[in-house]
Amino acid sequence: MALKATNPTTTDSWKKLQSHFESIKSKHLKDLFNSDAKRADELTIKWDDFYVDFSKNRITKETLDLLIGLASELDLKDAISKYFEGDIINATEGRAVSHTALRAPKNSKVFVDGVNVIPGVHEVKEKIENFTNLVVSGSHKGFTGKSITDVVNIGIGGSDLGPAMVVDSLQYYKNHLTTHFVSNVDGDHYNEIIKNLNPETTLFVIVSKTFTTQETLSNANSIRAWFLESQPQEAVSKHFVAVSTNIDSVKTFGIDEANIFPMKDWVGGRFSLWSAVGLSISLALGYDNYENLLEGAHKMDEHFRTEDFDTNIPVISALLTVWYNNFFNAESEAIIPYTQYLNQFATYLQQGIMESNGKSVDRDGNKVNYETGTLIWGEPGTNSQHAFFQLIHQGTKLIPADFIGFVESLYGNKNHHDKLMSNYFAQTEALMNGKTEAEVLAEFKEQSLSQGDINKLVPFKIFEGNKPTTSLLIKKLTPESLGKLIAMYEHKIFVQGVIWNIYSYDQFGVELGKQLAKSILKELNENETSSNHDDSTQNLVNFYKNNR
Ligand code: F6P
C-alpha cells in the first residue's frame, strides 16, 4: 500500500508548532539551559555505542512533543511499517524501498510483490563472500596467472559514492588490495587511474544498476579497450565483473554470467552500498568487515523500527530538520565529522539527502506550498574550522550542524585525539554561547588599547551565539558503527519525506540534463547544428567547437 498523502501544514500539530515557534524563536540557548537543570540529560539519547546530545538545539521538551505530535498525526508509524514490509512506497516508479532487507538476518522475511526476498539476498551475499575470499587470498588469478593487486570500481552516483566513501572511511581496516574509483565521464579521470595499473593484476568492477548510464559505460568501454591493447579477449573474464539489475546488457557488454553480481530494482541507487554494489567494499576490507557494516546498519534499522519516537535517533534528528527548515527558514545543514576518515561523508550524504528530498511536488501531484529538502555540506573538523566556520559563527545565516566524533582514535594517539576532540567540544560550546559585549570588554581590559580603539572594535568581536548543533559521540569508528551512522541518515531521509509529503525515492530531476547532453553530444560529433538552443548555449557550443 502507498504512503498516505497529507499536506503537513494543514494539520493541527503544524498550527500548534507555528504558535509555539513564535514563543521560542528569540530565546537564547543559554537561557534554555539556565532555566532547566535537567535539559542536557533529558535531550540526550544513549543507545548502544552512540551518545546523541540534542540539547544544543533551539527546542524545549514542548517543541519535541509537538514535533512528535506532527509525526504521529502524519502517521509516521504506519509509514515505517510500510517501508520495512516491502510496500510500494516509491509509487512514482512503482517499487518497494527495501534496502533494509539487504542487512536483515537470514531467518527474517520481507515480502516484495508477494515474494520473500531474503533467501535471494543471502544467495548474492554468499557469492560476494566466495569471490572476495578468492581474490583476497590470491587464489583468483588473472589471465597470466598472477594474483590481483588492484581493484577498480567503475560507477557513478550511488554506484560510486557509497563504496568510495566506505572504503575511504574504513581504510584503517583495509587489506593489501589497492582500490580505485573511476566515476566522472571526464576522460582525464580514468586515464589518471589506469596510467599506473598493470592490467595483468587488476580487477575491474563495473557497477551500474541500470547498465545504461553514459558515464559508466563510456569509462567501462574505454578501460576495456585499454585492457585489450595488451591482453587477449579471453582475459576479459578473469579481469572484469559487473553489478547490475540489467543482466542482458551486461552480457552484451561481454561479461560472463558467472561474473555478474545481481541486484534488484527495489534497491535505490543511493541506498545500494548494502547490495552487490558493495562488492568493492567487501574486496577492499574483507568479507567479515563488510558483514559487520551490514550488521551495524541492521541494528540501527531495529532501533528505528521499534523505538518510541521520543528516544528514536533518526526520528528526532529528522524532526529537528523540519523544525529549522520550515519554522526558522534555515536552508542548509552542515555535517562536521571530527575524524579525517569521514572526509567523504558529507559528499556521500549530499546524494542521499538532496537527490531524495529535493522535490517540490507532493504525493498528490500538487506543488508544495512549504519548504522541502535542505542543502547539505560539510568537511571534517578541524580543517573546516579554518575554512568556513567564520560564516557559521558570525554570518547572517542559521546553519544547524551535526558534529560527529569518536571517543577513541584508531591509532591511539591520545595527545592528538584530545586536541581534536577539545576542538569539537569548544566549537559546539562557542556556537551556542557566543561572546557578549561584557565578555569582549573584559578581554580588552587585559590589553593596552585606547578606549577609542576598544569602542571601534567591540561590535566585530561580539558573537551572538545561539547557533544550533547536535553532538554525536560514538565509541570508535568501526565497520559496525559506520553502518549504524549511515543507516541513521537513511532513516532520517525517510522520515523527512514522510513529513513533507513527497516521494523521496525517485530522481526525475536528474534526467533532463542527461537527455539534453545526449542531443548536444550528437551536435558536437556530427557537425549538426540545432536551432533549439538559446543564444547563450549556442554561443558556448560554437566557441567550444571552433576552438577544440
Ligand atoms: O544520478 C542519477 C542516478 O540515477 C542515481 O540515482 C544513481 O545512483 C546513478 O544515477 C547511477 O545509476 P546506475 O547505477 O544505474 O548507473
Determine what percent of the chain is predicted with pLDDT higher than 70. 99
> For residue 213, how far is its CA from the centre of ligand 1 (angstroms)?
7
* Separation CA 333–CA 320 (nearest Å): 11
Task: Indicate the length of the chain as a whole number.
Answer: 548
Average pLDDT, the chain: 97
Half-sphere exposure of 517 (CA within 13 A, CB side): 9
Does 6 sit behind a cis peptide bond, omega within 30 degrees of 0 on the bond before it?
A: no
Q: How confident is the model at residue 526 (pLDDT cuts 50, 70, 90)?
A: confident
Q: Which residues pair with 141 in a beta bridge?
A: 147
* Separation CA 277–CA 268 (nearest Å): 11
> Does the structure show a pLDDT above 80 at 55?
yes
Query: Three-state DSSP class for 368?
Result: coil
The per-residue pLDDT for range 149-205, each reduced to its tens digit, is 999 999 999 999 999 999 999 999 999 999 999 999 999 999 999 999 999 999 999
> Same structural domain for residues 513 and 501?
no
Residue of higher predicted confidence among 528 and 199: 199
* Candidate from 185, 265, 353, 507 with most ligand 1 atoms within 8 A of CB, to mutate: 507
> Does the structure show a pLDDT above 90 at 531?
no
Domain boundary among 256, 291, 326: 291
Residue 496: which of 401, 356, 327 has the closest Cα? 356
> Same structural domain for residues 498 and 527?
no
Would you say the CB of residue 269 lies under 6 angstroms from ligand 1?
yes
Q: Which residues pair with 199 in a beta bridge?
A: none
Residue 276 class from Cβ within 10 Å (0-12 exposed, 13-18 middle, 19+ buried)? buried
Residue 445's pLDDT is 87
> For residue 203, how far is its CA from the centre of ligand 1 (angstroms)?
22
> Same structural domain for residues 57 and 24?
yes
Which grid coordinates belong to 355?
537527490
pTM score of the predicted model: 0.97
> Does the structure show a pLDDT above 90 at 448?
no
Would you say the CB of residue 507 lies under 6 angstroms from ligand 1?
yes
> For residue 114, how far is its CA from the centre of ligand 1 (angstroms)?
27
Q: Is residue 218 part of a domain?
A: yes
Residue 332: which of 401, 234, 423, 428 has the closest Cα? 401
Residue 470's φ and ψ, nearest 5 degrees, are: -115, 130
Per annotation, catalytic residue among 215, 291, 355, 490: 355
Rg (CA), the chain: 26
Query: Three-state DSSP class for 181?
Result: strand
> Does the structure show a pLDDT above 80 at 528?
no
String of DSSP letters for 282-310: HHHH-HHHHHHHHHHHHHHHHHHHHS-GG
> Same structural domain for residues 538 and 493?
no
- Report the relative pairing of strands 469-474 and 50-53 from DSSP bridges: antiparallel
> Same structural domain for residues 351 and 488?
yes
Q: Is residue 536 part of a domain?
A: yes
Residue 290 CB neighbours (<10 A)? 28
Residue 255's pLDDT is 95
Residue 539 CB neighbours (<10 A)? 11
Q: Is residue 88 part of a domain?
A: no
> Same structural domain for residues 490 and 402?
yes
CB distance 499 to 8 below 8 Å: yes
Q: How confident is the model at residue 223 (pLDDT cuts 50, 70, 90)?
A: very high
Would you say the CB of residue 208 lies under 6 angstroms from ligand 1?
yes
> For residue 212, how far is its CA from the centre of ligand 1 (angstroms)?
9
Query: Three-state DSSP class for 388?
Result: coil
Q: Is residue 231 part of a domain?
A: yes
CA angle 486, 492, 494 (to 5 degrees): 110
Domain boundary among 260, 291, 322: 291
Smallest CA separation from ligand 1 atom 9, residue: 157
* Separation CA 432–CA 539 (nearest Å): 50
Q: How confident is the model at residue 514 (pLDDT cuts 50, 70, 90)?
A: confident
* Candidate from 165, 181, 183, 209 with most ligand 1 atoms within 8 A of CB, to mutate: 209
Which grid coordinates belong to 177?
588490495
CATH number at residue 145: 3.40.50.10490
> For residue 159, how far is its CA from the centre of ligand 1 (angstroms)?
7
Q: Is residue 104 part of a domain?
A: no
Would you say the CB of residue 157 lies under 6 angstroms from ligand 1?
yes
Residue 515's pLDDT is 85
> Same structural domain for residues 160 and 258?
yes
- Give the containing element (helix H, strand E) for 377: strand 375-377
Per annotation, catalytic residue among 514, 518, 522, 545: 514
Residue 171's pLDDT is 98
Which residue range(s) make up the domain with 487? Answer: 8-73+307-433+468-506
Q: Which residues pair with 473 in a beta bridge?
A: 51, 405
> Does the structure show a pLDDT above 90 at 327?
yes
* Separation CA 533–CA 512 (nearest Å): 14
Would you say the CB of residue 162 lies under 6 angstroms from ligand 1?
no
Smallest CA separation from ligand 1 atom 8, residue: 158
Q: Which atom of ligand 1 is nearest the CA belonging to 277?
A: 14
* Candidate from 206, 207, 210 with most ligand 1 atoms within 8 A of CB, to mutate: 210
Smallest CA separation from ligand 1 atom 6, residue: 269
Which grid coordinates belong to 207?
557497477
Residue 300 class from Cβ within 10 Å (0-12 exposed, 13-18 middle, 19+ buried)? buried
The mean pLDDT value for 44-57 works out to 98
CATH number at residue 525: 1.10.1390
Residue 519's pLDDT is 87
- Give the containing element (helix H, strand E) for 68: helix 61-73
> For residue 103, how far is its CA from the centre of ligand 1 (angstroms)?
21
> Same structural domain for residues 217 and 355?
no
How many domains does the chain contain in total? 3
Q: Is residue 153 part of a domain?
A: yes
* Separation CA 337–CA 344 (nearest Å): 10
The mean pLDDT value for 459-486 works out to 98
Per annotation, catalytic residue among 38, 386, 414, 445: 386
The per-residue pLDDT for range 258-287, each reduced to its tens digit, is 999 999 999 999 999 999 999 999 999 999
* Candidate from 93, 159, 273 with most ligand 1 atoms within 8 A of CB, to mutate: 159
Residue 14's pLDDT is 98
Any catalytic annotation for residue 355?
Answer: yes
Q: Is residue 240 part of a domain?
A: yes
* Separation CA 145–CA 143 (nearest Å): 5
Q: Is residue 417 part of a domain?
A: yes
> Same structural domain for residues 498 and 542?
no
Residue 84's pLDDT is 98
Q: What is the DSSP letter of 272?
A: -
Residue 263's pLDDT is 97
> For residue 156, how far is its CA from the centre of ligand 1 (angstroms)?
6
> Same structural domain for residues 275 and 286?
yes
Q: Which residues pair with 262 in a beta bridge?
A: 244
The per-residue pLDDT for range 73-96, each reduced to its tens digit, is 999 999 999 999 999 999 999 999
Residue 115 class from Cβ within 10 Å (0-12 exposed, 13-18 middle, 19+ buried)? exposed
Q: Which residues pair with 333 in a beta bridge?
A: 376
Residue 7's pLDDT is 98
Q: How confident is the model at residue 525 (pLDDT cuts 50, 70, 90)?
A: confident
> Does the structure show a pLDDT above 90 at 346?
yes
> Same structural domain for residues 199 and 220?
yes
The mean pLDDT value for 529-535 works out to 82
The per-residue pLDDT for range 387-396, each reduced to its tens digit, is 999 999 999 9
* Separation CA 378–CA 246 (nearest Å): 35
> Same structural domain for residues 286 and 321?
no
> Does the structure show a pLDDT above 90 at 446?
no
The mean pLDDT value for 300-306 works out to 98
Q: What Cα–Cα distance (Å) separates residue 462 from each residue in 30, 34, 175, 394? A: 15, 21, 50, 9
- Within 8 A by CB and 6+ apart from 199, the residues are 226, 227, 230, 231, 235, 239
Longest dimension (CA), the chain: 83
The per-residue pLDDT for range 233-261, each reduced to its tens digit, is 999 999 999 999 999 999 999 999 999 99
Domain boundary among 291, 318, 333: 291
Residue 334's pLDDT is 98
